[in-house]
Structure 1
Amino acid sequence: MRYPIPNESIELLFTKARSHRSWTEHPVSQETLRELYEVMKWAPTSVNLAPARFVFVQTELVKEKLYPYLMDSNVEQVKSAPVTVIIAYDEKFYTNAKRLYPAYDTTDYFKNDPKISSDTAFRNSSLQGAYLIMAARALGLDTNSMSGFDNAGVDKAFFAGTDLKSNFLCTLGYGDDSKLFARGPRLSFDEVCQFI
């Protein structure tokens, strides 16, 4: 039987966690980013195929490749964040099927149905991006996810000639709490949930 995690951990991950748009100058080490992946990689995906790919953008030189494709309101956030992660997906994720799901080879199932393959890659890379956010919070990092960018432009700049496609971006670092907005409300249980 599993037991609930302490309330302090729930607060860290959910109820007191905030999305940050302003950052301190404290760096995020590559060791921390490796640890982040090692934590989040164990979360579930469809038949364990893990289609997400993560590009950790850290240097100003590489950040400059992102700026032309960002909504104006996102440029300063990416510029000031220690790390911006491009959460992408591999359109041919199923080439790892035999290795990652040895119980049953699903290669042909995905290879022969581009619609199912595309839907699976997008859906599961979205899940994995969310897992990355939760793992980052668990490791004491702050995050902010964003979809305000030109996917086709980012794909051309970063993934030309590959089978990778961008899904969304997420900044990582140590947020400046003094610049947070007031916390926004959430919908109530009765507004979004039902028992049947």
Structure 2
Amino acid sequence: MTDTDLNSADLAAYEQAFSSSLVVPNETADLLFRTAQTGYAFSDAPVTDEQMRAVYDLVKWGPTAMNSQPLRIVLVRTPESRARLVEHMAGNNKGRTAAAPLVAVLAADVDFHDEMHRVFPALPNARDKFPDESARATMAHASASLQAGYFIIAVRAAGLVAGPMGGFDADAVSREFFPDGRHRAFLVVNLGHATAESYRPRQPRLDFDEVVATA
């Protein structure tokens, strides 16, 4: 390679790739964070069960309180189920949810402790450790919310776009898709492949010095 083979822009990009304090390549950081955005429109390409299995196989390893895993997911695929969900979405979210190739309803399992014996074999009856339902529900929502964040990042790692939405009737969606009453829906996520119309203009973010203090 000669000096003329690299222009100044190429050289700047080359230098940036080796100047980061991150241990992952800049391309990976861009895919997961810097250039990733909420999706508002998608191509017609389907989202497969294999892709969603790959997504969850990443999500399950993310840290939660006491290794609890309260996140529960319903993948809304059938037209009948989609119509039931759209009915409870708010405003523009109705059209977005109707058009997305796949929609995931995320909920927190208030009875997550029933699975805790798999994490802590010494607790065959974990209900004794979590007797207060209100405190249990708070813990379930906190850890499921963490897992929802992992879910969005894992979707990006699969080359997909996520459109998370909080604008919906959570009680009605919970009744529709989790009729046992023990699961509380808190997020609906449209999923698909990006198009030129997928994104809105990038909004600013707070800088390090505006957020981080040293004590």
Alignment-derived partner of residue 37 in structure 2: 18
3-state SS of paired residue (2:74): strand
What does 1:18-97 correspond to in 2, within 5 Å? Answer: 18-97=37-116
Distance 1:130 1:90 in 2: 16
Deviations 1:96-115 (A, max 9, x none): 111123366654222x1223
Code of the residue aligned with 1:108 in structure 2: it is D
Match of 2:205 among 159, 174, 186: 186
Distance 1:36 1:62 in 2: 22
Distance 1:166 1:192 in 2: 30
* CA spacing shift, 1:12–1:115, aligned 2, 3 Å: same
- Note the aligned Cα RMSD (angstroms): 1.6
Question: Residue 83 of structure 1 contacts residue 172 of structure 1 at CA under 8 Å; is this kept in 2?
Answer: yes
Question: Residue 174 of structure 2 contacts residue 181 of structure 2 at CA under 8 Å; is this kept in 1?
Answer: no
Code of the residue aligned with 1:133 in structure 2: it is I
* CA spacing shift, 1:103–1:14, aligned 2, 3 Å: farther
Code of the residue aligned with 2:168 in structure 1: it is F
Code of the residue aligned with 2:133 in structure 1: it is P
Alignment-derived partner of residue 128 in structure 2: 108
Code of the residue aligned with 1:99 in structure 2: it is R
| Runs of 4+ that moved beyond 4 A | 103-106
Alignment-derived partner of residue 132 in structure 1: 151
Alignment-derived partner of residue 9 in structure 1: 28
Percent identical = 33
Alignment-derived partner of residue 174 in structure 1: 193
Distance 1:63 1:20 in 2: 18
Structure 1 gap segments, 5+ residues each: none
Under a length normalisation based on structure 1, what TM-score does the superposition of the two structures give? 0.92
Superposed displacement of residue 129, structure 1: 0.9
3-state SS of paired residue (1:26): coil
Stretch of structure 1 that moved more, 175-184 or 36-45: 175-184
Superposed displacement of residue 164, structure 1: 1.2
Deviations 1:55-113 (A, max 9, x none): 01122221100112111210111111111111111111101111123366654222x12
Which has the larger Rg? 2
* CA spacing shift, 1:179–1:52, aligned 2, 3 Å: closer
Deviations 1:31-58 (A, max 9, x none): 1111111121111111111001010112
Code of the residue aligned with 1:184 in structure 2: it is Q
Distance 2:127 2:180 in 1: 22
- Paired residues, number: 193
Match of 1:159 among 178, 186, 191: 178
Structure 2 gap segments, 5+ residues each: 1-21
